[in-house]
Structure 1
Amino acid sequence: NDKQKGGTVTGVFLMGVISAVIASPCTTAPLAGALMFIMKDGDMIRGGAYLFVMGLGMGVPLAIIALLGQKFLPKSGMWMKNIKVLCGFIMLTIPLYLLRAYLSTEIITAIAILMSGSLICYLTLLVMKKQRGPFAIFTMTVTAAMAAASLFMTPDDGSDNLFEQVKTLDELESVIRDNDVVIVDIRADWCASCKKYEDTTFADRNVIEYMSGFKNVYVDITEDNAPSKDIIEKYNSAITGAPTVLIFKNHTLISSVNGYLPAGSFMARINSALKKDR
C-alpha cells in the first residue's frame, strides 16, 4: 500500500481493494447478524434497504474522517506507536482466554504473570528517562521468578474430589443401578465452559456440600472414538454437547442441564428437577 502513487484513480482503487481485504473479516460478524435478521423478516426490498443503510453507517464515518481528519485529528507520532503496543497486549489476552480449555491452570497463570510483568515494564519505561536498563532487567527477573513459582502452586480444586470418572456405558449403568440420585457431568478438554464449570461452580463450597449426598460422576467426550461414545448415543436426546449435566433419580433420567450455570442457579436447577420428580 505504501508503494501506491497518491492522487491517481488507480492508486485510490488499489487502496480500496487492499482495505476491503483487511476489513472484511472485521465486518463478517455484524454482516452475518444483519443477514439473519433479513432472512427472518423475509422482505427482499426491505432487506436491501437494511444492507444499504448498514453500508452508509459503515462508510459515512470513514468519509467524514477522510475529509475533516487533518483539521480535527491529532498529528501522528510516537503516541500512535505506544497505543499500538498497548492494543497488542490487549489482543494477547484473547488467545490466552481461549487456551484455558487446553492448558492447565498453572501454565495459564504463569503466562498471565509474564504478560502482566511485560505490560508494567513497558508502561514504566515510557515514563522513566533514566535507569531504564537496570529497571527492565529487575522487573522481568522478578516476573519470571513469579511465573516459575506459579507452576508449582496446586490450586485447591474441589471438583477433582467431587466427581469420579466413568468411561463406558456399562460403568455408568452400574452406578445408576446402585444409587438413588446420580449426577453425570459431560465434559471435554476443548470445552471452555467445562473449564469454567470446574473453576467456579464445581469449586464452590456450597455446591460441593450440596452434592455430597449424591453420586457424582463425569464422562470425558474429548475423543470421538472413546468408549464413552456409547453413552452419548444412548442419551443423545438429552445431550446437546459439552457441557451437559444429566440428572438421574431412581435409576431414571429425569432432567438435564445444558450449558454453563453459576453455583446458585446450578443448585436451584438440580433441586427443582429432584422435587418435580417426587
Structure 2
Amino acid sequence: TLMVIGESGSVFRGIFALSSLSLGLGIPLILIGVSAGKWLPKTGDWLNTVKEVFGFIMFGLAIWVVNPFVSFETINILWSILIIFAGIYFGGIRIYQRFATNIERRKIYSGFVIILIGCAMLINQLVGMEKENANQEIFADSQSLFTPVISVEDLDQNLIIAAKDSRITLLYFTADWCVSCRQLERETFTNAALISLFAEINTVKADVSLNNEKDIALMSKYGIFGPPTMLIFNVSGEEQKSFRKIGVTKAEELLHDLNRLKDNQARVLGVSL
C-alpha cells in the first residue's frame, strides 16, 4: 500500500488512503468502547477454540515464511497437510466423544469437511505436478531471460546499445528476499508468448538484494521504493512511465503493453522492430 501511494506521488491520495485505513481500524474499537463491554462475548469454551485456531494459523505463518526458499509444489503440499491435520484435530479426535448436542455434531461435521478439502488440495497438487514440471521446462529461470545490470552506468550503457539496435527495453527490479518476485517469475515469466517476445526486445534485471550504494543509486534514479517493479523504455532509452508495473503483474497485461509500445515505435521509426 505504501509503495503504491509513494509511486503515485500524490500527497492528498496518501492522506486520504492512510486516514481511511486508520478510521477503518479504529471505528470498531471505538464502538466497543462506547458500549462499555456490553457487546463483548462472555468467557467460555469458545476461547479454547480460538486459541487452537490461532495455533494452526501460526503453522500457516511458518509455511508462508519459507515460501521464497522452497518450490511452489512443496508449498501446496504443506498447505494441504496443514488443512488435513486441522480437520483431524477439530473433528476427527472428537469422534469418540458423545454427540450430546448439536454443537458437538457441527464440530464433527466441520472437521470432516476440512479433511476433505485438504485431501482434495493434496490430490490436485500431486496430479498437477507433472503439468507444473512441463511448464518449468518451458521456463528457463530469470537468469537466462534477463541481462543483469548492477549500477546506473551499466544500465545507461545497456540502453545505448539497445537504442542502436532499435529495441525497446524492459527493466526488472528484483531481490532474493522478495516473495512477490518469486510469484512473478513463477506465474508471469512462464508465459510462452511473453518468453517469445523477450527474445525480440532488450530485457535487463537489477538485483537489489544487497541494498548497497549501487542498488540505492539505481533505485533512486527512477524513484523505485522496492521490488518487484518493472520499467519499460522506448528505443530512445526514455522510460514510459504510464507502462510502469509495481507488484505482481499478469502476463497478458505485460504482453499487451510491450507489444503496444513495440508497434508504436515501429510506426514512428518506419521500420519493423
Are 1:185 and 1:218, in contact at CA under 8 Å, matched by a contact in 2? yes
1:253 and 2:221 are equivalent in the alignment: no
Please state how far the C-alpha of 1:242 moved relative to its aligned partner: 1.6
**Matching residue's letter, 1:126:** I
Q: 2:150 aligns with which of 167, 172, 177?
A: 167
Question: Residues 38-95 of structure 1: CA distance to partner in whole angstroms, max 9, x if unpaired?
Answer: 99xxxxxxx9xx99976642325562245xx66xxxx834x65345323432354345
1:103-252 alignment, distance < 5 Å = 103-105=69-71, 108-109=75-76, 111-123=78-90, 125-129=92-96, 156-157=135-136, 158=139, 160=141, 161-179=144-162, 180-225=167-212, 227-233=214-220, 236-252=221-237
Please state how far the C-alpha of 1:213 moved relative to its aligned partner: 1.8
**Matching residue's letter, 1:76:** G
Which structure has the larger Rg?
1
**Matching residue's letter, 2:210:** E
Q: 2:38 aligns with which of 64, 67, 71?
A: 64
Question: Residues 157-213 of structure 1: CA distance to partner in whole angstroms, max 9, x if unpaired?
Answer: 426143243334454344333332221111112333322211222222332233332
Gaps of 5+ in 1: 1-31, 40-46, 131-138
Match of residue 88 from structure 1: 55
Structure 1: how far apart are the matches of 2:230 and 2:246? 8
Match of residue 251 from structure 2: 263
Match of residue 27 from structure 1: none
Gaps of 5+ in 2: 1-14, 98-114, 269-273
Match of residue 26 from structure 1: none
Are 2:234 and 2:261, in contact at CA under 8 Å, matched by a contact in 1? no
Structure 1: how far apart are the matches of 2:146 and 2:96? 55
**TM-score, length basis structure 1:** 0.57
Distance 1:229 1:51, change over 3 A: closer
Please state how far the C-alpha of 1:271 moved relative to its aligned partner: 3.3
**TM-score, length basis structure 2:** 0.57
**Matching residue's letter, 2:174:** R
**Matching residue's letter, 2:201:** F
**RMSD of aligned residue pairs (Cα, Å):** 4.4
Structure 1: how far apart are the matches of 2:256 and 2:75? 31
Structure 1: how far apart are the matches of 2:140 and 2:37? 55
Structure 1: how far apart are the matches of 2:18 and 2:219? 34
**Which SS does the other structure have where 1:253 is aligned?**
coil
**Which SS does the other structure have where 1:183 is aligned?**
strand
**Matching residue's letter, 1:165:** P
**Which SS does the other structure have where 2:182 is aligned?**
helix
Are 1:254 and 1:273, in contact at CA under 8 Å, matched by a contact in 2? no
Match of residue 76 from structure 1: 44
